Amino acid sequence: MTEALSLVPKAEAKQSMKDFKSDQEVRWCPGCGDYAVLAAVQGFMPELGLAKENIVFVSGIGCSSRFPYYMNTYGMHSIHGRAPAIATGLASSRRDLSVWVVTGDGDALSIGGNHLIHALRRNVNLKILLFNNRIYGLTKGQYSPTSEVGKITKSTPMGSLDAPFNPVSLAIGAEAGFVARTVDSDRKHLTEVLRQAADHPGTALVEIYQNCNIFNDGAFDALKDKQQAEEAVIRLEHGQPIRFGADGSKGVVRDPATGDLKVVTVTAETEARILVHDAHAASPTTAFALSRLADPDTLHHTPIGVLRSVERPVYDTLMADQLDAAIEQHGKGDLSALLAGNDTWTVVG
């Protein structure tokens, strides 16, 4: 077992996917990408082998935030944007729990943006699954903070004006130790990313591109269509050269003049310069540069996989250490002595 979950009790018996299905009817729209993610998570959980009573899913508001109701673990469906804050209180006081946050692009990046960035910098032991469908679904189709500029929606009949966030860039900028991106329809990839996230001590952010077939259908087709995906998707694997396209015909190199990354056709001359992905690099610079390769409109050159996985001191561990240190230095708290303080006088009856 990993250090991240070393304090979480193990399941006594072998678990299966159905152990993690609650008795509640799943109420997402037929065809929603959320079904695929739910199945992947329920299918992956037995692999962790944790006592399911020690697993908690906390969500905010939005379509994806109904997720906890469908997991047969402890769960809280909270209020809009606040799941990272609530989960922080739980995880920082209960290190024997495996705490997961389920959120969406509106929940995490708009109303809850502040909590997300602070959870990331603090590095509380949380696994944050950010379902990004680039639209507001539950409120029936307004643009979101990840929607492309000019998007026509109910609230933007002449096109949206705001530039979108790139959640991966944002997370890296917020000092995240673990940042990954995956796609709802690629169960194998999704599961592998979950595995690495679960393994990571501290906050892990997993952006999951998720299709909303009602209000933003096909938003990620460029990454899903077999033909297009070859050119559009850059699959990152730690320690491997960053190549993609038909037969690995494209690669990522560093421009010696600017230090920036760019896509080149692999040739005898460029092959030696193809960047080898190092998810564990201490500096976030290259991971950030990788996150910027994707075109926000066409999604061409979208890296998926683990962009960054670096260990940093974990908030809840540090918090517990301070409690231990305080007891070591001052002894276990004595209420009587505390209340009395140093300056007392006595009134005799």
Judged by beta carbon, residue 22 or residue 213, the one nearer another protein is 22
Q: How far apart are CB 125 and another protein at their closest, in Å?
A: 13
Q: What is the DSSP string of 26-71?
A: P-SPTT-HHHHHHHHHHHHHHHH-B-GGGEEEEE-SSSGGGGGGGB
Judged by beta carbon, residue 272 or residue 323, the one nearer another protein is 323
Q: Which amino acid is at 110?
A: S
Judged by beta carbon, residue 112 or residue 145, the one nearer another protein is 112
Q: How far apart are CB 173 and another protein at their closest, in Å?
A: 16
d(CA 121, CA 176): 6
Judged by beta carbon, residue 56 or residue 232, the one nearer another protein is 56
Judged by beta carbon, residue 276 or residue 327, the one nearer another protein is 327
d(CA 152, CA 170): 24
10 Å Cβ neighbour count for 212? 26
Q: How far apart are CB 37 and another protein at their closest, in Å?
A: 17
**Could you tell me the sign of the dihedral formed by the alpha carbons of 86, 92, 97, 100, in that order?**
positive
Q: How far apart are CB 64 and another protein at their closest, in Å?
A: 14
Q: Is residue 202 a contact partner of residue 176, using CB atoms and an 8 Å limit? A: no
Q: How far apart are CB 36 and another protein at their closest, in Å?
A: 21
Q: How far apart are CB 65 and another protein at their closest, in Å?
A: 9
Closest by CA to 52, choosing from 20, 17, 21, is 20
**How far is CA 231 from each of CA 147, 223, 277, 298, rounded to the nearest angstrom?**
22, 9, 18, 11
Judged by beta carbon, residue 85 or residue 266, the one nearer another protein is 85
Q: How far apart are CB 149 and another protein at their closest, in Å?
A: 29
**How far is CA 209 from each of CA 131, 147, 318, rounded to the nearest angstrom?**
6, 12, 33
Q: How far apart are CB 71 and another protein at their closest, in Å?
A: 8
DSSP type of residue 225: S
Q: Is residue 149 a contact partner of residue 163, using CB atoms and an 8 Å limit? A: yes
Q: Would you tell me which residues interact with another protein (CB under 8 A)?
A: 9, 22, 24, 51-56, 58, 68-69, 71-79, 82, 84-94, 96-97, 114-115, 118, 319, 322-323, 325-327, 329-333, 335-336, 338-341, 343-349
Contacts of 47 (CB under 8 A, 6+ apart): 195
Judged by beta carbon, residue 92 or residue 146, the one nearer another protein is 92
Judged by beta carbon, residue 227 or residue 344, the one nearer another protein is 344
Strand order in the sheet with 243-244: 243-244, 250-254, 261-265
Q: How far apart are CB 126 and another protein at their closest, in Å?
A: 10
Judged by beta carbon, residue 19 or residue 271, the one nearer another protein is 19
Instruction: State which H helix or E strand residue 74 sits in.
Output: strand 74-77
Both structure tokens of 185:
């329809």
**Could you tell me the sign of the dihedral formed by the alpha carbons of 214, 216, 220, 224, in that order?**
positive
